[in-house]
Amino acid sequence: MSQVTSIENTVEKNSKEKYLSDYQVSNYEIDSIDLEFELYDTTTLVKAVSSVIRVGEHQQPLFLFGEQLQLKKLLVNGVNHPDYKLVKGGLELSYLPQTFTLEIHTEINPQANTSFSGLYKSGGAFCTQCEAEGFRRITYYLDRPDVMAKFTTKISADKDLYPFLLSNGNPVDQGDLDNGRHWVSWSDPFPKPAYLFALVGGDFDCLKDTFTTKSGREVALELFVDKGNLDKTAHAMISLKKAMLWDEQRFNFEYDLDIYMIVAVDFFNMGAMENKGLNIFNSKFVLANAQSATDQDFLGIEAVIGHEYFHNWTGNRITCRDWFQLSLKEGLTVFRDQEFSSDLGSRSVNRIANVKTMRNHQFAEDAGPMSHPIRPASVMEMNNFYTLTVYEKGSEVIRMLHTLLGEKAFQQGMELYVARHDGQAVTCDDFIAAMQDASKIDLTLFKRWYSQSGTPNVHVSDHFDLSKNCYQMTFKQKTQPTADQKIKQALHIPIAIELLDKQGNALKLADNKTNTILSLTHTEQTFVFQNISEKPVPSLFRGFSAPVKYQYAYSDLQLLHLMNFASDEFSRWDAGQTLFNKYLALNVQRLQDKQEMKLPALFIEGFKGVLVSELLDPALIANMFEFISETGAMELFDRVDIEALHRAREFMLSQLAMALHSEFVTVYHARQVAGEYLAITADIADRQLANLALLFIAKADPALGNELVVKQIAHCNNMTDHLAGLVAANSASLACRETVMQDFEEKWFENGLVMDKWFVIQASQDRSDVLDNVKALFKHRSFDFNNPNRLRSLVGAFAQNNPYHFHAEDGSGYHFLTEQLIKLNKQNPQVAARLITPLIQFKRLDENRKNLIKKQLNRLLQLDDLALDLYEKVSKALKQ
């Protein structure tokens, strides 16, 4: 009857923060909801019949959230109910009985929904995304995670255009209608919040399989993809079955429905969504074969398939009471998918990948204007909760719990958590309480990780007393004030350590072990080790045992000692990174002092030993030469000198390339993988090292690099090696670059996911006209501004992965990104809010760049219709 303006839609009415402390239990509950959809592109009709119960003795009106809806009919117990009014953000009903049936008819326009939240069209298919608050764009409802109801869904559509009509739960019935339409009914027996609702209607290719659970039930598995993509689905199905088996074996969790479905769509803001029984995926995390996907794509698909499946118990069966508790499901499930990947592949390589994400990106988030704890205290826009802090740091907090409790007690805690809360919407406190009760370990202090933001800094000093054979270590922790919190408290920080003697042997510590976990629980704490006959080299925070920055005055020789002898492979990698970062900072200082940059021979020799090692995992060797990104390196400085940082890093890489040229050539030829392409751990490691060597060869010897790149691309049988050739040609500006890039584009221009890789390379060029090239590519036949994947691969890659040129002194990069954000503000503010990140993390930049950025942020702030997603980030950035 009237178009409702979204409560999230305009800034001036909605700039007030929402607070965790304001949470109140809903005045009404919904026991069940029966949905009927008549799918049409521009006028989809939705009928929602809910069984509603008033909670307690009160006469408060029922407020139902709703956005961009046309209300057609409203009935209470089958009778027109006149006592309602449309208000900002929804619908308010008064004078209601204690229990009643509420029937609401709405009309929506999926074709016009470019935000990809709610019900929308992805290519030729209907698709939904309801997390966090998308269901309110489908019908008026109590769209909050603590309202859990049983859903049944009936969908009707044109049978020729949409032969597959899918929703949550198990299929119940189906039939044909007049005018070439048909219908399908679904029933989900498990109560769920509205954010887990899903619907898909389309024409797909379908890969079918089955999985037999540990109790002997056969579950149907169905994977739906766009026509013509069936040859790219086998790996995703294998990954799903591996995840189902792993979850039974490691966590004793068994799948609970008769069918499990995955649908891959091209237009999707996120990676994937764990809707009960019907996961909707960005096609990037489903489609893969040797010709079109890299090793990292295969690994990423395995991880994301696992992540969404693992949500069945940690997110679906037990969900969040409110969105401030998001890390309850996401941090825990990221930890579970990381363990899954580690158990199936290389634990150390996976750990290194996780830590790179933390150091290159999450630490910057902690230090930026959007700093928040893993359980935030306030927010303006719920979509802005989906952060590296909530997910990745949230996972690190779960990992610390696992470290402190051990596998056995941790699993006992998980068992108790499920026993207590299955079918409920709960809080992070409920999870910690289960862990504490099961383990009998007091976690009161540990809970501060949930409420305190920022990255702790731990300063480590030591003293060795030869006369007493006594070694002591003093740890001081401090967390700097952040944008959201000025006062910080001491945290419970687990520190995994190992002490090495001069020969590289690990010294025996407590309980005759060679490594131990120290619990730092005070601002300053000293630990004493007896019966130590020589000053050892300490290996600190083994396995990245806590998400902190730490400082210890390692000498070059001590770092090389750790690179050679630490029993923990992560610690070897970490020592190499620390050594590189040390000389990166020194060379930046030399440039600023107008001195010649230098690298000592000891540095070169140390990395040479790594490169030629026959004992180390090839993947570990490759990772040790994949040094901190320029974006991550900005966190090493209080004030970043963009030009000096870029020059110093390039100098160090070039010096390594030239000094170890012959070794890189030897490694390149030795690590070639012959025969059929297999995405297995050993082959992935060899390809990673060979392609790393190719990158350094191209940097030191462009002629040889050119020859090898042309040959590799001509003869390779997989996307990993093909793409590595393009990256080497691009990075070293080889003579063949334009030819191999053009040939790649001619071959793959019709495949958007493959072309995303090409766009990333184009946006990552180190040349003065790279921004002009990026702008020109907006007209490329494979680019679609409406597709989030294309935007991330071109605009996002330039802004995030090419900081030297994005932060050009004239501010052109800032102006360019702002122009795109203005376009996206109306079209897809959720994507805009993710792309803006490098524009708001400016506090370490020089005053000129800060002022140029502030100018662009003020442009955004002055928009009359600035979406709340952007307003929150822009306003907080300008308050820095």
Q: Which residues are catalytic?
A: 308
Question: Given the structure tokens 């054979």, which residue do they identify?
Answer: 469
Could you give the count of Cα atoms lying within 13 Å of 373 in the half-sphere of its Cβ?
23
E-only strand ranges, 540-631: 549-551
Tokens of 551: 């400082």
| DSSP letters spanning 829-866 | HHHHHHHTHHHH--TTS-HHHHHHHHHHHHHHHT-TT-
H or E segment to which residue 683 belongs: helix 681-700
Q: Cβ distance 207 to 230 under 8 Å? A: yes
Phi, psi at residue 182, to the nearest 5°? -145, 170
In whole angstroms, give the CA distance from residue 551 to residue 707.
44
**3-class secondary-structure state, position 211:** strand
Q: Measuring CA to CA, how many Å separate 392 from each of 136, 190, 338, 359, 654?
A: 28, 29, 10, 11, 33
Q: Cβ distance 52 to 81 under 8 Å? A: no
Q: Which amino acid is at 68?
A: Q
Q: Cβ distance 181 to 156 under 8 Å? A: yes
Q: Which residues contact 707 (CB under 8 A, 6 or more apart)?
A: none
In whole angstroms, give the CA distance from residue 850 to residue 842.
6
Query: Which of 44, 423, 19 has the alpha carbon at shortest distance from 196?
Result: 423
Query: Which of 516, 498, 547 has the alpha carbon at shortest distance from 398?
Result: 547
| DSSP letters spanning 138-186 | TS-B--STT--BEEEEEEEEETTT--EEEESSEEEEEEE-STTEEEEEE
Tokens of 537: 């080299």
Q: Which residues contact 857 (CB under 8 A, 6 or more apart)?
A: 818, 839, 840, 874, 877, 878
Query: Which of 297, 267, 125, 353 has the alpha carbon at shortest distance from 754?
Result: 297
Tokens of 675: 């025969």
Query: Which of 863, 857, 831, 820 has the alpha carbon at shortest distance from 842?
Result: 857
The CA angle 400-506-359, to the nearest 5 degrees, is: 40
Tokens of 479: 């967390």
Phi, psi at residue 197, to the nearest 5°? -70, 145
Q: Measuring CA to CA, how many Å separate 338 from each of 168, 296, 399, 733, 765?
A: 27, 14, 10, 36, 32
In whole angstroms, give the CA distance from residue 207 to residue 343.
26
Tokens of 525: 């704490």
- Helix crossing, 428-439 with 326-344: angle to 10°? 60
**3-class secondary-structure state, position 734:** coil
In whole angstroms, give the CA distance from residue 540 to residue 566.
10
In whole angstroms, give the CA distance from residue 239 to residue 54.
44
Q: Cβ distance 515 to 546 under 8 Å? A: no
Sequence-ordered alpha helix ranges (H) in 702-769 = 702-715, 719-731, 737-748, 752-763
In whole angstroms, give the CA distance from residue 671 to residue 665.
10
Tally DSSP H helices, then E strands, for the chain: 30, 31
Q: What is the CA radius of gyration of the chain?
A: 28
